[in-house]
Amino acid sequence: MKRILIKNGTVVNEGKIFQADLLINGEKIERIDSDISCDNAEIIDAFGLHILPGIIDDQVHFREPGLTHKGNIASESKAALAGGVTSFIDQPNTIPNAVTQEILEEKYKTAAQSAFVNYSFMMGGTNDNLEEVLKTNPRNVAGIKLFLGSSTGNMLVDNEQTLEKIFSSTDLLIATHCEDEGTIRRNLEKAKAQFGEDIPPYMHPVIRSEEACYISSSKAIELAKKTGAKLHVFHISTGKETNLFDNNIPLKDKKITAEVCMHHLFFSDKDYEEKGNFIKWNPAVKTAQDREQIWEALLDDRIDVIATDHAPHTFEEKSQKYLQAPSGGPMVQHSLPMMLTFVKQGKITLEKVVEKMAHNPAILFQIENRGFLREGYQADIVLVNLNQPQTVHKDNILYHCGWSPIEGEELSATVVSTFVNGNLAMNQGEITEEKFGQRLLFNR
């Protein structure tokens, strides 16, 4: 088997930063130690670089099948690879929606041929597919996704009896999009009364308000407590919601967990004036105060995971008027460099970034042999240069949609190399055409 020896790097893993070499044997990490020598290994000199476990993004929308004019598994996983993301969990609101086992498995078959990194897909719940949901295999499917607020794909689950049945019938992790539909509709009617059909984008967080988010997420948490379900609330966007979560329980024992996405850590409602619909997400980007409270919750461990909700749309689609422009934006290529820029600014430590983007998704979803740099684990590894700035512009964006909401931003760090299952899949911006991604397995 092929061996690769990474020499002279600085390892960031399990709360520690230390100098070490790392020996890869085939797909796995064979040894982590100081001053390893190996006669038959290819040597990679990582002097001046930090060695991290591959990033696991627990929420992406890679748009295949049915929406491939926006992106596809090959294009978006290639962008993920360039950004140091070695595993992704994709959501069910494609066309057709992944709400039967047959449709779900078709997505896995596509990924087996086209994914540049490791992959899993969530099974989608609806008002009337409980039987299909309960057939989901916990060993090789990440979990169940429920839209408790409408978003791209029309998969709203609003039947309370159905919700309770799903929550009480499965041991699988249930991930939720939480926004209260009634509140959103009332707010939208008020906005239409004020602006007609020409609603400005800055009204988005007024329409999809703090109240809409809090009502829905607090209901989901109440239901999880009542039924004992394992609940993961996606993309927390308000400070008020952060108080619903605990930080006094080890993650492996938590039944109720939370995720934050890059755009809610980066933007605020002041940015709608410049960015307009290009920062239109569901849930909406809220106030600077919300952003600061989310940061506090991230740092004190009420929020467990950082992800992207990577959801590309074409430039033309996003350029439409507010009511026609879809919600979502591309982010998976830049999430790690963005977080490393926050490290440089002193907002978060390097160890905490690795915890929230690699270790915790692996713990939360019980992903087998990934998310850590450990002997015997799969060699999903990222080398980063914390002192190599990059500017995001159209020429270096790999998203199929060809744009980014952070174009023009200078990020303070660069992903130099990405290993997927022991293979050097990206080096110095050059991506191999060979695809090394594997289906994620779960210790359940």
Name, in order, each residue with C-beta under 8 angstroms of 16's C-beta and a sequence gap of 6 or more.
Answer: 351
Question: Alpha carbon of 274 to those of 291, 352, 439: distances in Å?
Answer: 18, 31, 40
Rounded distance between C-alpha atoms, residue 230 and residue 233, angstroms:
10
Residue found by looking up tokens 């050097």 in the block: 424
Rounded distance between C-alpha atoms, residue 67 and residue 81, angstroms:
21
| Burial label, 400 (beta-carbon count in 10 A; 0-12, 13-18, 19+) | buried
Hey, is 310 helix, strand or coil? strand
What tokens were used for 9? Answer: 């790097």
Rounded distance between C-alpha atoms, residue 210 and residue 380, angstroms:
38
What does the longest C-alpha to C-alpha distance in the chain come to?
A: 74
Question: Alpha carbon of 407 to those of 99, 313, 394, 428: distances in Å?
Answer: 35, 15, 7, 20
Residues annotated as part of the active site = 309
**CA dihedral of residues 230, 158, 92, 424 (deg, nearest 10):** -40
Rounded distance between C-alpha atoms, residue 392 and residue 404, angstroms:
8
Q: Which helix H or strand E contains 101, and what residues bound it? A: helix 101-114
